[in-house]
Amino acid sequence: MAFKLAVVFMLLLVVGSLFSGLFFLYRDKGNGDRVVRALTLRVYLSLVLFLGLLLAWHFGAVGR
């Protein structure tokens, strides 16, 4: 159960980072680097989530 909550939490972080990038894009009118930082964070969070799911599958924490 805790693993499922962690996955949902990570997905919420990914979506939150995506919307913060959209907010910064709208607010900064394309100037500045806050959009790039927000979307870079989203990519890193997605990679961590993907690798975590792969490791969980490998070690049997997720059904095969």
Give the tens place of pLDDT for each residue, 9-59: 999 999 999 999 999 999 988 788 899 999 999 999 999 999 999 999 999
Would 64 be classed as within a structural domain?
no
Would 29 be classed as within a structural domain?
yes
The CA distances from residue 52 to 25, 31, 36, 60, 61, in Å, are: 30, 34, 24, 12, 10
Would 31 be classed as within a structural domain?
yes
Number of folded domains in the chain?
Answer: 1
Residue 29, pLDDT score: 82
Would 63 be classed as within a structural domain?
no
Residue 41, pLDDT score: 95
